[in-house]
């Protein structure tokens, strides 16, 4: 049985030039001093509230920031690699 987070990496688009990870929710994450930082965290949090509730939205954004930072630091996490990185390595 698979979890709801199976293939979570596919929900992200990595821009290796600008070093920004963009989630399908619109959340943009960059890494500063080894820590993930959301460029538009409050905006995405507000958009998640109607479907997931005000009590869940902040935790969801925090998890997404960690995911985005993880992919920026190690784009080959669990065997995933972005199309842009694959083309860049050719």
Instruction: Note the pLDDT tens digit of each residue in 21-77.
Output: 999 999 999 999 989 999 999 999 999 999 999 999 999 999 999 999 999 988 776
Closest CA to 75 of 90, 61, 86: 86
CB 69 within 8 A of CB 28: no
For residue 43, the SS3 value is helix
| Residue-wise pLDDT tens digits, 17-30 | 999 999 999 999 99
Contact 31, 17 (CB under 8 A): no
Q: Pick from 24, 16, 73, 22: which is nearest to 47 by CA?
A: 24
Check whether 82 has a pLDDT greater than 60: no
């Amino acid at each position: 049985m698979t979890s709801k987070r199976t293939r979570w990496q596919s929900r992200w688009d990595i821009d290796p030039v600008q070093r920004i990870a963009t989630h399908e929710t619109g959340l943009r994450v960059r890494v500063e001093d080894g820590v993930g930082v959301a460029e538009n965290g409050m905006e995405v949090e507000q958009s998640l509230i109607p479907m997931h509730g005000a009590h869940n939205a902040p935790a969801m954004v925090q998890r997404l920031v960690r995911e985005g930072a993880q992919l920026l630091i190690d784009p080959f996490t669990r065997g995933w690699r972005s199309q842009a990185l694959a083309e860049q390595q050719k």
